[in-house]
Amino acid sequence: MKSLAIKMMFPVVAFVLASAGAVSTSDSTTKSEIASVQGFKRTAPFNCQPQKICNNIGTVLCVDGTDQMYAKPSPTSDCTEILTHKP
């Protein structure tokens, strides 16, 4: 009987430990990964020229002179993702 109670409690304990571990882990994105995002000047659709490195932190738009900087979600996509920069 005691063995049966232990066998029934084991999945519950495993679930509680897994849940606690999932909640306690930190975000896998570190500042060094966020800190360097290539900014592109969008001259036309699918015509992007690399201009400036933005850190994509904060709410101030990343600009190079008067040109807004954009990021590419993937290497083959258009540069449409607005970048921010915190000095």
Q: What are the residue ranges in the chain where pLDDT is below 50?
A: 32
- What is the reported pTM? 0.57
Q: Could you give the CA distance from residue 33 to residue 3 in angstroms, rounded to a whole number?
A: 49
For residue 5, what pLDDT is reported?
63
The reported pLDDT for the residue numbered 14 is: 61
In angstroms, the CA 65 to CA 78 distance is: 21
- The residue type of 85 is H
Cβ contact 11:42 at 8 Å: no
